[in-house]
Every structure is written in structure tokens, then in C-alpha cells.
Structure 1
Amino acid sequence: MVHRLFKSGLATVIYDDELVDANCGKLFQLEWLHANSGGQKLERGTAVMFQYGGLELVFKQYHRGGLIGRWIAKTYRYCRLKNTRVWREFHMLDATHKLGLPVPRPVAACCTGITPIAYRGAVITERVPGSKNLTEILCEQPLSNELWGKLGTLIARFHTLNVFHADLNTSNILLADKEKFYLVDFDKGEVRTPLSRKDAESNVARLHRSLNKLQGRHPAFCFSEDNWQALTSAYQRAINSD
């Protein structure tokens, strides 16, 4: 993999030249995306799926959350290119992919200057085929404790490699072909050497809160404390065997 960089007007694009070429700049144009994704809308928290050059891809535009997001939803303060959220996530995905971890491969990222001190960003990754996120799955059916154990082992694998996921919730966990888990959305994620026990435990606790919240919101949500015990037991075994 070789990362190429080019500028087009106010936009700076980085891309993996094993997957796309410099023409990938058009993939970040909203008109092109709308026309080539079946008319999907760019909304906060919604990824846009499309095909390009024989690849199944996912486009994500950065949106602010919380109260401030009501006023400046897509704009961030610019300092240096390497410090932008989009640049950091692209390289974070690249680093974790090179570690052999199950994450989407980064394809391209774009940072567009709005003013000298503000930017907007977007990232494109390969789509994980045959996958659904954990929120969708658990609203439809339960998972076996064996699968919960596999998820716990996988989270431990990320942690033993010092990978910190800043927002480990059910929407950021994919299950592909009903047997393999992937983690997605590494915005604000980091490789922390070493990853502290406190930070690792905060990841696990964040996931537990996410599951409990959804269980309270959806009466048919398929999650139990027995499932959670299967996950944490497998997690601890994997951590202790490292």
C-alpha cells in the first residue's frame, strides 16, 4: 500500500493507490455520491454505500454531536492537516489493518478548507461484505453465548495490541456472515503504547452501557446478563493469556 496525496482547490485528498487513483477526488463530491448511491441522503450517523472500480465502498462525512452540532454540524477547527479528525482516522484504520485486525480498509480521505481556521472532512473505506451492525442484529434475534465469547476475545485482541476505540458501542460492531466480528468508526481512536488498564476497561464499560441503553429502549432487544458474562469471561481469559 502506498498513500498518495493531491490537492484540488481547497481540498486535500489522501488515497491508497492499490485501490483507487487520483480520480477518486470525485467520490467526495456530494452530487456524484447522490447520483451513484441510489440517491442516498447524507445524514448524521448514516453511511453512504456505493460501488466504484469494482469495489464496494462506504462514505462517511464527519458530523458534530451534542448541542454544538445543532449550530456547526460539519465544521471543525483547523490547526494542522495531520491533526484533523479525518486524517487521524485514515491513518488509524491503516495502522490497525496492518496489524491484521478486522477493520475496514481505508480507501481515501478528504479534508476541505472552509476558512483558514475551519475544515470539513470525509473518509471512504471498503465495505465489509455480508455484514450488519450489532444494534440491527439484536433487535431481530439473539446471539449465542459462543458468539458473545468471540466478541470478548476480539476486543481483548485489540487491547493487547494497544488499540483504543473511543466509542465502542453496538452500532460500531459489525457481524459478517453470522460468524466474524469487525470494529468500525475509529474517529478519535488511538494506538496507545501502552494501553492502560483503565482505558481498556473504559472501552468494555462503554459497550455495556450501550447494550443496557438499547435494552431499555427496545423491549424485544435480545441481550441478557448471561450474554455479558460470556463476553467478559472470554475477554479476561484472552487478556490473562497474553
Structure 2
Amino acid sequence: MTKQVVFKNATFITADDFALPYKSAAELNRLFSLAFIKENADNLEFKGGRGQTALFSLSGENLVLRQYLRGGLWGKLMHDKFFIGAQDAHRAFDEFILLVKLKAKGLPVPDPVAAKEEKEGLFLRNYIIIKQIKNCADLSYVIKERHLSADEFTKIGSTLKRFFDVGVLHTDLNIRNILLDNKGDVYVIDFDKCKLTDLNRQDKDAMLARLLRSFNKEVRITDNAAHFKESDFALLKEAALAG
């Protein structure tokens, strides 16, 4: 399902159905280069407070390149470096492999394209490329524009139940990591530091509580302009915990 290639100080992992015409190690290395992307890609834009996410079109595919950055005090000291022996040293590969597993289970997640670990002494830098999900918006955007319908809250909850049923522990389940497309389909994104495990009711309640907080936070930061009432969340929660 996946394969690894090595180029100089970098190791790459790709999906077997990797469709882009960038197969060799040197070509893969270029694909992760912002200089190469700026020169060859279309529709380039950057997202994220620290500009760590690039969205672009290349070779007929709409892609996302994300670099993994450290947060907190370590972020100020190390920025994008992870000690090679640390538990979180392989975040890109971990997320990539998890996405491959979730796709195999038929879950609505982004298609993984490739991941890269770049070695510098005793440290690694991590990068991942995934395919963009077409014609969608995250829930923070949607509730700025309109109310979600009762059916949409139920559909979101039912989708989350599919993830819960296979044991996905999402460590940052919030409205920016849930997408709604123009057909009404729901997707979940950003599986950094997430894992498959034996979920209990407390795990599920904690994820849903985090999601609810993100709805309420959006209402606060928009001075009540976001279209959401906490009573609406009951439909989502009921569907997520059904059965």
C-alpha cells in the first residue's frame, strides 16, 4: 500500500497509487520544494498562522503541502526540528500511514500523496502532501454564512460515528477540521498526532466536548455573528453516539 524511497538526507513515503509524474527520489524531493512549487504550480496560496500550509495545483491535481511545526516553548527554541529519538519525531509518516488505513476503511478523509522526513544531524523535519477535497468549506466558514440544518447536524454526527466505530482518536476535533461539500457530504481532516485505539465512552465524549467548544468559540470571536445555538449540537451528539 505504501513504499519508501531515499534521496540524500531525506526519506519519502508514498502511496502505491501515487498518480503524479514525480516518481524518482529526486523528483519527489522537488515536489516538496516551495521554490519549485512557486515556479511551476498554479493557484498557490498559503494558510495557517505561520504559513506552514501551501495549497496549489500541479500536474492536474489540487494539493496541500504542510510542514510540521512545534508549538509552545519548544516551538520558540526548535521551530520545525524534532529530535530523532522522540516519540513525535515521525509525525508526517505517522499521519500518512493513518490516512492510508482510514482510506482503506472507506472513511471520508483526504487522499495521502507523499510524506517526507528530512534529517539534519540528530533532528528531523516533517512534511506531508495530501490532495485537496473539492468544493468544500470547513464548518467555521459555513456557520458564518448560514445555519446548519437539522439534517446536516445529524449527517455530521453520523460521519463522526463511523470514525468512532473503527477507533479513531482525533486529538483536535474542531469545526475547522470538519468539511462540508456542495453535495452535503462530510469529511474529517488533520490527523496529526491522531491514532487508532479502543475508544471508550469517555474518549468519545471528550472529542465531542472539544468540538462543541470550537462551535461556541466561533460564536464568541465573531461577536455572535456565527449561526449556531448549543441546542443544535444535541442532534450531532445523538447521531455520533447512536447504538
Q: TM-score if structure 2 supplies the norm length?
A: 0.89
Large movers: runs of 4+ above 6 Å:
none
State whether residues 34 and 40 of structure 1, in contact with CA within 8 Å, keep that contact through their aligned partners in structure 2.
Answer: no
Structure 1 residue 34 corresponds to structure 2 residue 41: no
Q: How far apart are residue 64 of structure 1 and its match?
A: 1.7
State whether residues 46 and 53 of structure 2, in contact with CA within 8 Å, keep that contact through their aligned partners in structure 1.
Answer: no
1:200 paired residue number: 204
Aligned residue among 142, 154, 164 for 2:159: 154
Q: How far apart are residue 94 of structure 1 and its match?
A: 0.5
State whether residues 10 and 118 of structure 2, in contact with CA within 8 Å, keep that contact through their aligned partners in structure 1.
Answer: yes
CA RMSD for the aligned pairs?
2.0
1:73 paired residue number: 79
Aligned residue among 166, 171, 176 for 2:171: 166
Distance 1:111 1:93 in 2: 17
> Secondary structure at 2:199's aligned position in 1?
coil
State whether residues 37 and 49 of structure 1, in contact with CA within 8 Å, keep that contact through their aligned partners in structure 2.
Answer: no
Aligned residue among 188, 194, 198 for 1:183: 188
> Secondary structure at 1:32's aligned position in 2?
helix
Q: How far apart are residue 86 of structure 1 and its match?
A: 0.8
Structure 1 residue 121 corresponds to structure 2 residue 120: no
Q: How far apart are residue 46 of structure 1 and its match?
A: 5.2
Q: How far apart are residue 68 of structure 1 and its match?
A: 2.8
2:102 paired residue number: 96
Distance 1:42 1:233 in 2: 33
Aligned residues: 235
Identity of aligned residues (%): 31
Distance 2:155 2:51 in 1: 27
State whether residues 52 and 68 of structure 2, in contact with CA within 8 Å, keep that contact through their aligned partners in structure 1.
Answer: no
1:49 paired residue number: 55
Distance 1:145 1:200 in 2: 21
Per-residue CA distance 1:88-114 (angstroms, 9 max, x = gap): 000010111100000001010000012
State whether residues 81 and 87 of structure 1, in contact with CA within 8 Å, keep that contact through their aligned partners in structure 2.
Answer: no
Structure 1 residue 217 corresponds to structure 2 residue 216: no
Structure 1 residue 62 corresponds to structure 2 residue 61: no
Q: TM-score if structure 1 supplies the norm length?
A: 0.89
| Distance change in 2, residues 1:42/1:201 (3 Å) | closer
Q: How far apart are residue 25 of structure 1 and its match?
A: 2.4
Distance 1:132 1:141 in 2: 12
> Secondary structure at 1:139's aligned position in 2?
helix
Distance 1:40 1:104 in 2: 18
Distance 2:120 2:81 in 1: 8
